[in-house]
Structure 1
Amino acid sequence: MDEGDPTRRNLLAGASGIAASALAGCSERLWTRAENTAPEQVELTIKTVPADDDAAAAKIMSHLRENYQAAGIDATHEPIAKAELYRDILLEGDYDVFVVRHPGFDEYDALFELLHSQFVSGRGWQNPFHYSDVTADEHLESQRTSRGDRHNAMAELVEYLEETAPYTVVVFPHHIGAVSADIPITSSPREPLEFYRILSTETENGPRDGPLEVGVFGEGLTERLNPIIVDRNRIDGLLGLLYDPLVRRRSGESIPWLASDVTWEESGRTSATITLRDGLSWHDGTDIDADDVVFTYRFIQDTSMGDIDGGLPAPRYRGRQTIAENVTRVDSRTVRFSFGNTVRSASTRSLTIPILPEHIWEPRSEVIAQRQTEALVVEDEELIGSGPFELGEVTDTAIQLVPFDEHVFRDSSSDRPFVLDGFSQYSGIRFRIDPNPGAMIDAILDGEIDLTATTIPPGETAPIVAHDEIRLTSVQTDSFYMIGYNVHHSELGNPRFRRVLSRLIDREYTVSELFDGFAQPANSFSSLVGIRDDRWEHRTDPILPQFPGTDGEIDVEQVRTLFEDAGYQYENGSLLE
């Protein structure tokens, strides 16, 4: 590649940005050392959930901590319950390093909200690393607006992120489930469309008078069902069954949902005109109209509706909301979205936000404390949504969803999305909540549930395999286990240091030994940032730096050389600040 090549120029520009960041980090350490003649050992605390909540995350953490310690880092582990962990990471930024399972990306553009400096002070999965990099911002913006060459823009972005490493992906785990033999499906559900697929599939015994019995496990799953917050446990797919978006996405395909029609205009600036279906209503009987759509996008942008200076956005869906430059009412059933120069494939993400009822949420814009609105603290057990199911009885051990008979999709003669052909074979859905995976597995072995929705730990599949009436299912997912770095930490602010840390996990070993093969390793530039290889459409993927060791254990001398090349020094085996 010659230096006149535009890709090379971009890479050189990126490299200069990395060098500047690295020099800034080195300068800070030099000044620190000038003031302190006794540099101390680098200390890092790794936060993750306890093994009972996520055995895989705990195993990755243990493997990582051992390698950090062997590299001379004073690494400690702080297990913390999932709700508190999400609060520390996604709301407070109170961590050094974390290991969590990320839900995965629905589209390339999800990287924008995860990493752009626009969200450096955001909450939720909006730049929880506090990462601010001008070159990364340029790449993130370019992929949104590169109409003819978006894949090349993405390739440059992922290569640059491997160099700067605000986080790193370890593996893409399979979703392991158990299903009763009389239900003809090949995988257990996690997302609304997967639930609808099951609900529309007739069993060997025909339609059932009772609900689909779904097993999940975890603590506090019924404590706070507010759909716009992120600091609590969730039952995957639950809220999506209660709240409908304008459009749903499936394997890159857009399926109109509340929308009966989406008309795109892409000559110059991108826009979309949405026509709502006839006969839409909320669970309390109130009609759904264009005002609810416009309100939802404005409310996610600022839950105080203008009462707080600078606004107070909802931590959930904020990234998708910012894709739309303007959302306006045309008439009672028509809304127009303006997306500026953003390409259609990225703009469509904005249409997947669940629509909220204005008459329920507008009163919750009241400011009740400093930079706090009622909307962000309300438990919202009532959950007045628009989906084909509405909330029934809620206890500590179960959540019942019952049919919403007035939903337009309950009429088989209506123009329903194709995924609802045959809907519904059950009278509802009941989520049975167990405290741990063992109890959930016992429930399906005893015939108390039809299938599991929370993934089964890889090491606990044997009883299911041995059972004649239960099938073990395993399907590749877009979710991934990631190691995140807080760049506000004195050492983690240095991209060269983060890049070495990102190599101290043996991904192949993790798949074989910690996941029993039920995962794929992140071993390419695209997969290191969370895009599975089979989702990556670029023609090439450069060779990655390898794990400095074998069979999960680092080569201490090799790792010391890597840190020394990054400007660090050792004393008596300890890596010094």
Structure 2
Amino acid sequence: MDDVASSTTRRGLLATLGVGASALAGCSERLWSQAETADSKQVSLTIKTISADDDRLAATIASRLRENYTAVGINATHETLPKAELYRDILLEGEYDVFVIRHAGFDEYDALYGLLHSNFYSERGWQNPFHFSDVTADNYLETQRAADGSKRSDALAALVEHLLQTTPYTAVAFPRTVSGVAEPLTVPTPLRRPHDYLEVMAHPENGPRDGPLEVGVFGEHLTEQRNPLTVDRNRIDGLLDLVYDPLVRRIDDEDVPWLADDVEWTERGQLRATVTLRPGLEWHDGEQLDVEDVAFTFSFLEDTSMDDVESGVPAPRYRGRQTLLDRTEIPDDDDRTIDLYFVETSQPVARRLLTIPLLPAHIWRERSAVVADRQTQALTDPNEDLVGSGLFAFSDATAGGMVELESFDAHVLREASDRPDVFEQFPRFDGLTFRISPNPGSMADSLVDGEIDVTASDLPPETARNVRNAPNTSTVSQSTDAFYMIGYNSQQDDLGNPNFRRLCSRLVDREHAVSEFFGGLARPATTPSELVGIRDWDVDADLESARVTEPLSFPGTAGELDTSRVQSLFTEIGYSYEDDVLLE
């Protein structure tokens, strides 16, 4: 798409939607001259983030942000919290001004719909945690969901441009994920996704071994909550994905049938996917897995109270993907085939629904009781004896010590003729054990001492350096879609002003942060798409290639703010100063 055509198309799209960024901001957000407010007082912001033991990089970014806010006259405080408490404040209670956190990244562009659409303004989880309400953004999000090809490309490009003006959040950097490896284990990529584990456990140079693959992780309370629907708990990343299987897995940009034997798409009229399950599917407790479980999963995610609460109690995880579904239909006397009917959307977007892990109806149906306001047992139960359908079944856990998974011998992919190539020599280990350490340093020590085979929790730069320098260990790294995010609570007085949010987003030097904090093991967010959290933009090349000078460039040099320049910028958007103090 050439520059002239692209620009013209986006202008046309803006006109079609009927309102521009500045007009929208005036009608949906509180924009007023702060200088005219009576009894002005200093602008105050609290920045919440995870404790340094859990994520030193997030804590360091938040600390520098506080210093920069303070330097330009904001009364800024930096509050570090345990991961579970931080998630509760941000995702459930909305009790924050600014947060810094590592976001897992987007599986598809449509993930922005759940993150930002005002339909989710009052919902919990990663559904619009910023309380962002913007009609223009909603229009773009709806257009990209319903369109395909160039029309979707234009909507997404216009959305990115609009988000750079309204700034509900901003990305700082995309870190490389790093795992430590003990010799002689061969680990092709860091262990994050289920198929990463499969590649290690089926690699011909690894094993066979009588014992399990020993995997190191770090953090507190990692064994206390195994509920796949909660968002406010600390958990072992990737564990639940190994236990709970979806219909289809997304592996290296390819949709791989997993529990589904076949998916047939019909695009005439309402978009429909006819899914046929593989024969002989079982849950880990031996119960049959059939299409009733598929229909139940999607229905339960929409309302975990099962119609007991008038407005429903949706599960906070997978909500954005779940809203793609209109309804399900099961043909008479067929326990393997189900029709999934979608809302107005395109097939590439609709495919996201098929990657949701399935839940056993015979277990979760009993957890629909309402136990508190907007809470059901399904959202509070610790799910101690988790039962899924994955290649690994839960075996045992000790508080603060370890979690053991055993190979599920009855899994259909162990014998299926059309199974992925990785299963040819799977498994070469007798199960999988997660060994839990309190912090990354002690996890690395366990690796160097030969107590674990590989680390799954990400190694911070200085710890990765120590592992590389040890005699019998090495590291393996990979670029990642995860990114460090600064989020803003639009319900906070000053942060309700998009001009204020946009200027606050400029008060971090992204390139300097990558050099100084990440040891170079990251990519700064500098292009338009990167600033909204999309690392590899393949929708609109002219956005990807353009370096950003405005609106989110850092007003300073090498990490040092030009405070007089920033004061001028705040004055231009209606704020005032008194003795270098920024006034509301």
Q: TM-score, normalized by length of structure 1?
A: 0.96
Change (3 A) 1:3 1:389: closer
Per the alignment, residue 547 of structure 1 pairs with: 554
Q: What amino acid does structure 1 have at the position aligned with 2:73?
A: G
Map of 1:104-253 to 2, 5 A cutoff?
104-149=105-150, 150-203=152-205, 206-253=207-254
Alpha-carbon contact 2:35-2:576 (below 8 Å) kept: no
Is residue 81 of structure 1 aligned with residue 82 of structure 2?
A: yes
**1:80-139: per-residue Cα shift (whole Å, max 9, x none)?**
110000000000000000000001111111000000011111111110000010000010
Per the alignment, residue 40 of structure 2 pairs with: 39
TM superposition shift of 1:467: 2.1
Mapped to 2, the partners of 1:246 and 1:559 lie a distance apart of 51
TM superposition shift of 1:344: 1.0
Is residue 312 of structure 1 aligned with residue 317 of structure 2?
A: no
Per the alignment, residue 357 of structure 2 pairs with: 354
Mapped to 1, the partners of 2:110 and 2:5 lie a distance apart of 30
Alpha-carbon contact 1:47-1:95 (below 8 Å) kept: yes
Alpha-carbon contact 2:176-2:522 (below 8 Å) kept: yes
Per the alignment, residue 568 of structure 2 pairs with: 561
Mapped to 1, the partners of 2:68 and 2:486 lie a distance apart of 14
TM superposition shift of 1:506: 0.2
- Structure 2 residue aligned with 1:476, among 458, 469, 479? 479
- Structure 1 residue aligned with 2:22, among 18, 21, 30? 18
**1:388-425: per-residue Cα shift (whole Å, max 9, x none)?**
111011002100001112111233x5432334332111
Is residue 489 of structure 1 aligned with residue 492 of structure 2?
A: yes
SS of residue paired to 1:391: strand
Per the alignment, residue 502 of structure 1 pairs with: 505
Alpha-carbon contact 1:2-1:8 (below 8 Å) kept: no
Q: What amino acid does structure 2 have at the position aligned with 1:105?
A: F
Per the alignment, residue 441 of structure 1 pairs with: 444
Question: Where does the alignment leave 5 or more consecutive residues of structure 1 unmatched?
Answer: none
Alpha-carbon contact 1:268-1:341 (below 8 Å) kept: no
Mapped to 1, the partners of 2:129 and 2:525 lie a distance apart of 21
TM superposition shift of 1:183: 2.0
Mapped to 2, the partners of 1:430 and 1:421 lie a distance apart of 22
Alpha-carbon contact 2:24-2:136 (below 8 Å) kept: no
Q: What amino acid does structure 2 have at the position aligned with 1:144?
A: R
**1:20-40: per-residue Cα shift (whole Å, max 9, x none)?**
525863437477x2xx3x300
Change (3 A) 1:428 1:192: same
**1:175-223: per-residue Cα shift (whole Å, max 9, x none)?**
111112322223220111211121221225x311111100000001111
Map of 1:48-63 to 2, 5 A cutoff?
48-63=49-64
Q: What amino acid does structure 2 have at the position aligned with 1:265?
A: T
Map of 1:304-453 to 2, 5 A cutoff?
304-330=305-331, 331-396=334-399, 397-411=401-415, 414-453=417-456
Alpha-carbon contact 1:178-1:444 (below 8 Å) kept: yes
Alpha-carbon contact 2:157-2:539 (below 8 Å) kept: no
Per the alignment, residue 101 of structure 1 pairs with: 102
SS of residue paired to 1:275: strand
SS of residue paired to 2:495: coil
Alpha-carbon contact 2:414-2:423 (below 8 Å) kept: no
SS of residue paired to 1:482: strand
Change (3 A) 1:428 1:26: same
Mapped to 1, the partners of 2:208 and 2:136 lie a distance apart of 56
TM superposition shift of 1:338: 1.1
**1:447-498: per-residue Cα shift (whole Å, max 9, x none)?**
1111000001112223212223211112111100000000000010111110
SS of residue paired to 1:349: helix
Mapped to 1, the partners of 2:476 and 2:146 lie a distance apart of 40
TM superposition shift of 1:3: 13
Q: What amino acid does structure 1 have at the position aligned with 2:227?
A: N
Q: What amino acid does structure 2 have at the position aligned with 1:556?
A: T
Alpha-carbon contact 1:139-1:153 (below 8 Å) kept: yes
Per the alignment, residue 291 of structure 2 pairs with: 290
**1:430-457: per-residue Cα shift (whole Å, max 9, x none)?**
0000001111000000111110000011
TM superposition shift of 1:371: 2.9
Alpha-carbon contact 2:222-2:234 (below 8 Å) kept: yes
Mapped to 2, the partners of 1:214 and 1:133 lie a distance apart of 44
SS of residue paired to 2:358: coil
Is residue 518 of structure 1 aligned with residue 525 of structure 2?
A: no
Mapped to 2, the partners of 1:543 and 1:438 lie a distance apart of 37
Mapped to 2, the partners of 1:296 and 1:442 lie a distance apart of 41
TM superposition shift of 1:377: 1.0
Change (3 A) 1:415 1:6: closer
Alpha-carbon contact 1:11-1:160 (below 8 Å) kept: no
TM superposition shift of 1:11: 4.6
Per the alignment, residue 576 of structure 1 pairs with: 583
Question: Where does the alignment leave 5 or more consecutive residues of structure 2 unmatched?
Answer: none
Q: Name the count of aligned residue pairs.
A: 570
SS of residue paired to 1:394: strand
Change (3 A) 1:243 1:468: same
Q: TM-score, normalized by length of structure 2?
A: 0.94
Alpha-carbon contact 2:188-2:199 (below 8 Å) kept: no
Mapped to 1, the partners of 2:520 and 2:581 lie a distance apart of 35
Change (3 A) 1:14 1:77: farther
Mapped to 1, the partners of 2:537 and 2:213 lie a distance apart of 32
Q: What amino acid does structure 2 have at the position aligned with 1:322?
A: T
Mapped to 1, the partners of 2:474 and 2:245 lie a distance apart of 31
TM superposition shift of 1:144: 1.0
TM superposition shift of 1:376: 1.1
Mapped to 2, the partners of 1:167 and 1:126 lie a distance apart of 13
Change (3 A) 1:570 1:22: farther
Is residue 531 of structure 1 aligned with residue 534 of structure 2?
A: yes
Mapped to 1, the partners of 2:46 and 2:18 lie a distance apart of 30
Q: What amino acid does structure 1 have at the position aligned with 2:30?
A: G
Mapped to 2, the partners of 1:409 and 1:161 lie a distance apart of 43
Mapped to 1, the partners of 2:347 and 2:474 lie a distance apart of 40
Mapped to 1, the partners of 2:235 and 2:190 lie a distance apart of 17
Mapped to 2, the partners of 1:267 and 1:419 lie a distance apart of 36
Per the alignment, residue 459 of structure 1 pairs with: 462
- Structure 1 residue aligned with 2:32, among 14, 27, 33? 27
